[in-house]
């Protein structure tokens, strides 16, 4: 059974294997499959400057195996749009406590039937709603726009499309809302909250980590 796990600096110690799988899959998918060779590394792991204590990972894990994932990062810190793609934004780069940047989204090949994808999209909306986030920003290839429309996401372009490595790409902001969450939850076949949060046992309550949905 696949569950979407929330991994932050607080519980990362419980997920070292999952995070290593995520880095390895990112290399396989973004470098080897998608051909983003700038991200290539001889160790077969794709890790960048934003894989630090501020990153939040939402990983789809089935019986210990990572089958999909994504990363959220604070826009108040230097992030990918402000550091690498500021030219894709026409006016001000959205930078606020309630705006996160959304990157490194994928589903492993054998799970590309749409269902894991919708569960990851629902997880993103659910996590953001729970944490008072109003929108997420991302740089995407243009084919994401119809995908987002199908999943009921409201999107505002931050600038005009530009060609990056031969592909038309755009910076966009995706609204976080209960309506979007409900829409994508239906597509994912989910009836309610789905995030798993393993919490590190506190010194006063040692023992196994507990799970909160
Ligand atoms: C940044 C992303 C941010 C959100 C953070 O009938 P098809 O096969 O044409 O239907 C496809 C296409 O319409 C479209 N699509 C997927 N990949 C495409 C590509 N490279 N170029 C053009 N169109 C593409 O989506 C439909 C469904 O795709 P799918 O792969 O059959 O199934 P699924 O389960 O919906 O998975 C979609 C994703 C994007 C998750 C999966 O293809 C994947 O992980 N791709 C590699 C990672 C990637 O490119 N991530 C986005 C950039 S990060």
Q: What is the pLDDT of residues 38-74, one digit of tens each?
A: 999 999 999 999 999 999 999 999 999 999 999 999 9
Task: Tell me if 109 CB under 6 Å of ligand 1.
Answer: no
Domain of 205 in residue numbering reads as 2-212
Using alpha carbons, select from 160, 154, 118, 117 the residue that is nearest to residue 134: 154
In this predicted model, what pLDDT tens digit does every residue of 152-189 receive, in sequence order?
999 999 999 999 989 999 999 999 999 999 999 999 99
136 C-beta closer than 6 A to ligand 1: no
Quick one: average pLDDT of 84-96? 97
CB atoms within 10 A of CB 208: 7
Which pLDDT value is given to residue 202?
Answer: 67
Strand segments, DSSP code E, in the chain are: 2-7, 56-62, 65-74, 99-107, 135-141, 155-157, 162-164, 167-175, 195-199, 210-212
Q: Which atom of ligand 1 is nearest to the CA of 113?
A: 34
**Number of independent structural domains in the chain:** 1
pLDDT bracket for residue 203 (50, 70, 90):
low
Whole-angstrom distance, CA of residue 86 vs CA of residue 23: 25
Tell me if 102 CB under 6 Å of ligand 1.
yes
Pull the structure tokens for residue 24: 């390895």
- Please report the atom of ligand 1 found closest to the CA of residue 111: 34
Q: Is the pLDDT of residue 28 over 90?
A: yes
Sort 45 into a burial class: Cβ within 10 Å, 0-12 / 13-18 / 19+: middle
Which atom belonging to ligand 1 lies closest to the Cα atom of 120? Answer: 40
| CATH number of domain containing 63 | 3.40.630.30
Instruction: Indicate whether residue 140 lines ligand 1 (CB < 6 A).
Output: yes
In this structure, the residue with its CA closest to atom 23 of ligand 1 is 143
Q: Which of 79, 143, 173 is the best mutation target for the ligand 1 pocket, counting ligand atoms within 8 Å of the beta carbon and taking the most?
A: 143
Please report the atom of ligand 1 found closest to the CA of residue 107: 44
205 pLDDT band, cuts 50/70/90, is low
**Mean pLDDT, range 69-97, rounded to an integer:** 98
Task: Tell me the whole-structure pTM to 2 decimals.
Answer: 0.94
Measured in whole angstroms, how far is the alpha carbon of residue 42 from the centre of its chain? 24
| Residue partners of 112: CB distance under 8 A and separation at least 6 | none
* Nearest of 82, 43, 58 to residue 8 by alpha carbon: 58
């Amino acid at each position: 059974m696949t569950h979407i796990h929330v991994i932050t600096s607080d519980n990362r110690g419980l997920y070292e294997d999952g995070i290593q799988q995520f880095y390895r899959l990112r290399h396989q998918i973004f470098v080897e499959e998608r051909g983003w060779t700038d991200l290539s590394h001889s160790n077969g792991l794709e890790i960048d400057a934003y894989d630090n204590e501020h990153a939040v990972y939402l990983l789809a894990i089935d019986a210990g195996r990572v089958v999909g994932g994504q990363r959220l990062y604070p826009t108040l810190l230097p992030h990918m749009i402000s550091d690498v793609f500021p030219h894709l934004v026409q006016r001000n780069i959205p930078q606020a406590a309630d705006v996160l940047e959304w990157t490194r989204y994928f589903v492993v090949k054998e799970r590309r039937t749409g269902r894991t994808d919708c569960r990851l999209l629902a997880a993103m909306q659910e996590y953001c709603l729970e944490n008072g986030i109003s929108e997420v920003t991302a740089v995407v290839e243009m084919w994401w726009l119809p995908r987002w429309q199908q999943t009921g996401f409201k999107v505002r372009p931050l600038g005009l499309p530009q060609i990056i490595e031969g592909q038309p790409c755009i910076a966009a902001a995706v609204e976080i809302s209960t309506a979007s969450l409900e829409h994508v939850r239906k597509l994912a076949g989910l009836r309610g909250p789905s995030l798993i949060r393993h919490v590190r046992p506190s010194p006063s309550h040692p023992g196994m980590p507990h799970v909160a949905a």
